[in-house]
Structure 1
Amino acid sequence: MPTQAPRQIAPALLSPALNRRHVLVGSASALAAAGLSTWSPCAAAQAKPLPAFASWKDATATIVHSATTIETKRSAFGSSVITPTEQLYVRNNLPTPDAAVVANRDAWEISIEGVGKPRTLTLRELKTLGLETVAMVLQCSGNGRGFFPSKPSGTPWTVGAAGCVVWSGVPVRAVAEALGGVDGGMRFMTGTGGEKLPEGLDPKSIIVERSVPASAMVDALLAWEMNGVAIPLAHGGPLRLIVPGYTGVNNIKYIKRLAFTAHETDARIMSHGYRVSPPGGKGDPSQPSVQEMTVKSWINSPGPDSTALEKGRMQVGGVAFGGMHAVKRVEVSVDGGKTWADARLVGPDLGKYAWRQFVLDVRLPAGPHVLASRATDVMGNVQPQQRLENAAGYNNTSWADHALTVSVA
């Protein structure tokens, strides 16, 4: 079959709005002003070291924001579907537990409640009840916060608080069935983390405890393995609740309690935290909770670290996912969204919860080009142009925010 000729697309004319948000590749000062990562000898010297619990991470592929927040560099995603564990982002709401919790993984205990025969099970016992594997996008609720002009408090993530990960463990539904089934009237599945809580505080004010609809148990796992190895301490080992399609905070690390409940937990991280509040407002139970993810994509290559791009043929590629639904289509624009062309989905399809890689073969003339991608899921939901403005900078799926400006010589 003859090779299809690369698509010719006219050079972009930068709009004032895009000029404010995006930067020319190679311009370190502009990159910094836009909140995008850039590298220089000075910046490298000032880079924060990896925290001890994640010292095994790849320092060249990550950005350390704080002792509990580590971002994957946009340029590090590469062209493989699965995100290597040493590059995957870290976001912990509480200090990481002592490494002693993974010294004897099989002895870890979890209490199962809201079932016919509630009891405490060890990880060793869980392993006898079933096994499944799922590939899914793990993404922090605040991924893309760094693009908000309002500069919400919290880590200014761009795209790197996400990754595509393979988890293995026992299906939650199998555990519930083994213990007599879920009790009637239980509308929620509530997970409680096993982090050590600071003394002198109301536990409900600080504990990591989240509720999701009980229907989420259909695909949920109690996972002990990640990307083929035991889950590292940094990512919630020895045992983590995995709820495919839901944002990271709902995937409870160090899970010690899984309860089917009639009501949502009243823990503050649920009742007031991770709520989509209006700009200037504060979270409360009346506002939408950050739970299911929606369709999103972004371009990784050529990216903000690309230099010396020469005019002519090149491959524009990135990742796309639908959250709760599979990706059906990805379009790419090289003129800031004025015109679009269908990209090709490449690599293996690992299921509806995983992301898909896409690529568009183009020829770019010399000059600046605004690269953007727009995904559509199988339900017909289209990635929006604009972000949903909110106080905490959650759920940014804007294709305009995630666009990149590159300069071709």
Structure 2
Amino acid sequence: MAPDGPDPRRRGSLTERYPGLDVLVDEPPNAQTAARSNLATPITPRDEHFVRVHHRTPEIDADEWTVSLAGLVEDEAELSMEELRCAFPTESVVHTMECSGNGRTYFEPDAEGDQWSFGAVGNAVWTGTPMSAVLDEYGGATDDGLWLSAMGGEAPPDKDVFCRSIPLAKVREDCLLAYEMNGAPMAPEHGYPVRLVVPGWFGNNSVKWVEEIRVMDGMVEGEAWTDRDGQDYTQYQQSSYRIVPDQDEQPDRHRSVDTVSTYDQMTEDEGVRNAYLFDQLVKSLLTTPEDGATLSGPRIELSGVAWSGEDAVERVEVSTDGGESWDEATFVGPDLGRYALDRFRYVWEPEPGEHTLCSRATDERGRTQPATVSDPEDELRGIENDEFPWNVKGYGNNAYRPLGVTVEVEA
């Protein structure tokens, strides 16, 4: 594949280097793909792939950068980028990465944070070193119930460190220490020189600018991690990226959880009260036509994309009357793997007038997108009665009705 996108060492304005993005905030840089049609291609070009940064985009010399391996391993190590590239196997995965705040703008009242709409998602080829190979080389523990914590190197000394804990079983299954995106070194905003990629999981788990990985018997939690050398390593695991309804002041903190599935955590009566944003939820989006389009002709093709984290998308349905009735769409190639977008099409024979078009996907476990987002007063913690739970930071929204488009069909 030919390299695309900006050179990782090139600096300049975010808009200049990512012309396909709608910039929400310049500093720290946060931007989403600007048009639905940008997601219609099998692979999202880097200048159209969303950018999410918490603190700053660090200036990094890859020749000097190392990743520390510590914790429950036989031999601790400092791994250079050259070692990661040359001393281990290389693998690639096509992964649809969605920001867990995608769709936040559709919450009413407004949820906290940047108001992402539909565009904080992208389908890219990530290439790097399998985490399993690194752990095997240095005698990483293999016991059940262990976790791997990955720490990013972007936080200033007075800020919380971006750290995520991932179940070791998932890490060994298919996670990468990625150093390429779409066939070229990653751009700075995407994690250059190295990023943990967790296929099928929300983007908050794919830690950028990785400088330390640690095998542990639990997630980052407790005093040792809330004040480690004067910095809090637990914020982005235990407080942020949780489903917290309006009636809760703070989420409960856990050292470990038995249920990892985001959806299952949201629907269990007992267990985790405030679900962690781990694997992605089933979702779909019409890529054509755009909202507000004027259309004509006896037959109009509607197209879109769908994804479902670690589970296969079983079917996609399309409605041309705002969700009152549904017809099944047809999947169209290519098949880029378990974690890639599925593309679909639907041929519509419309009547003249205004129409609201929607799509909804169902995964292989029978889980279907809900219609709307609930009211805060409903105090939902999970998907119930065709509603996604309103939550303070607007995470995880996979409701289909807010993503609908309104079009006019000419006679």
Whether TM-score is above 0.5 comes out as yes
Spell out the pairing of 1:154-173 with structure 2 (5 A cutoff).
154-173=113-132
Spell out the pairing of 1:307-326 with structure 2 (5 A cutoff).
308-326=294-312
Matched, 1:270 2:270: no
Matched, 1:112 2:69: yes
Asked whether the 8 Å contact 1:322–1:352 carries over to 2, the reply is no
Partner of 2:82: 124
Change (3 A) 1:70 1:180: same
Aligned AA for 2:177? L
Q: Secondary structure at the residue paired with 2:105? A: helix
Asked whether the 8 Å contact 1:63–1:72 carries over to 2, the reply is yes
Q: CA deviation at 1:107?
A: 3.9
Asked whether the 8 Å contact 1:222–1:242 carries over to 2, the reply is yes
Aligned AA for 1:403? G
Q: CA deviation at 1:186?
A: 5.8
| Unpaired runs of at least 5, structure 1 | 1-50
| Unpaired runs of at least 5, structure 2 | 1-10, 222-233, 254-273, 372-386
- Cα distance per residue 1:177-207 (max 9 Å; x no partner): 1111326466211110011414xx3x5xx11
2-structure distance, mates of 1:248, 1:381? 21
Partner of 1:69: 30
Spell out the pairing of 1:161-200 with structure 2 (5 A cutoff).
161-182=120-141, 184=143, 187-198=146-157
Aligned AA for 2:98? Q
Change (3 A) 1:278 1:404: same
Work out which of the residue numbers 47, 60, 69 in structure 2 matches 1:86: 47
Matched, 1:296 2:254: no
2-structure distance, mates of 1:360, 1:399? 17
Q: CA deviation at 1:406?
A: 1.3
Partner of 1:54: 14
Aligned AA for 1:189? L
Asked whether the 8 Å contact 1:137–1:164 carries over to 2, the reply is yes
1-structure distance, mates of 2:92, 2:218? 29
1-structure distance, mates of 2:175, 2:79? 17
2-structure distance, mates of 1:55, 1:367? 37
1-structure distance, mates of 2:341, 2:39? 13
Asked whether the 8 Å contact 1:53–1:96 carries over to 2, the reply is no
Identity of aligned residues (%): 33
Asked whether the 8 Å contact 1:83–1:165 carries over to 2, the reply is yes
Work out which of the residue numbers 216, 232, 239 in structure 2 matches 1:261: 216
Asked whether the 8 Å contact 2:292–2:405 carries over to 1, the reply is no
Q: Which runs of 4+ in 1 moved over 3 A?
A: 51-58, 183-186, 280-283
Q: Secondary structure at the residue paired with 1:52? A: coil
TM-score normalised according to structure 1 size:
0.81
Work out which of the residue numbers 195, 216, 230 in structure 1 matches 2:185: 230
- Cα distance per residue 1:296-323 (max 9 Å; x no partner): 10112111253x3124211111110011
1-structure distance, mates of 2:68, 2:16? 31
Asked whether the 8 Å contact 2:111–2:393 carries over to 1, the reply is yes
Change (3 A) 1:196 1:87: same
Matched, 1:383 2:369: yes
Partner of 1:240: 195
Partner of 2:407: 406
2-structure distance, mates of 1:346, 1:185? 39
1-structure distance, mates of 2:114, 2:334? 32
Q: Secondary structure at the residue paired with 2:403? A: coil
Q: Secondary structure at the residue paired with 2:349? A: strand
Between Structure 1 and Structure 2, how many residues are aligned?
Answer: 348
TM-score normalised according to structure 2 size:
0.81
Q: Secondary structure at the residue paired with 1:216? A: helix
2-structure distance, mates of 1:164, 1:151? 28
- Root mean square deviation of aligned Cα: 1.8
Matched, 1:152 2:152: no
Matched, 1:96 2:83: no
Of structures 1 and 2, the one with the larger relative CO (CA 8 A, separation 6+) is 1
Q: Secondary structure at the residue paired with 1:271? A: helix
Q: CA deviation at 1:108?
A: 2.1
Change (3 A) 1:53 1:243: farther
Partner of 1:31: none
1-structure distance, mates of 2:22, 2:240? 25
Work out which of the residue numbers 210, 221, 228 in structure 1 matches 2:164: 210
Q: CA deviation at 1:122?
A: 0.7
- Cα distance per residue 1:325-345 (max 9 Å; x no partner): 121211111111121111111
Q: Secondary structure at the residue paired with 1:349? A: coil
Asked whether the 8 Å contact 2:69–2:214 carries over to 1, the reply is yes
Asked whether the 8 Å contact 2:15–2:23 carries over to 1, the reply is no
- Cα distance per residue 1:74-125 (max 9 Å; x no partner): 3342531111101111110111102xx1x4x254210112222121111111
1-structure distance, mates of 2:69, 2:46? 29
Q: Secondary structure at the residue paired with 2:361? A: strand
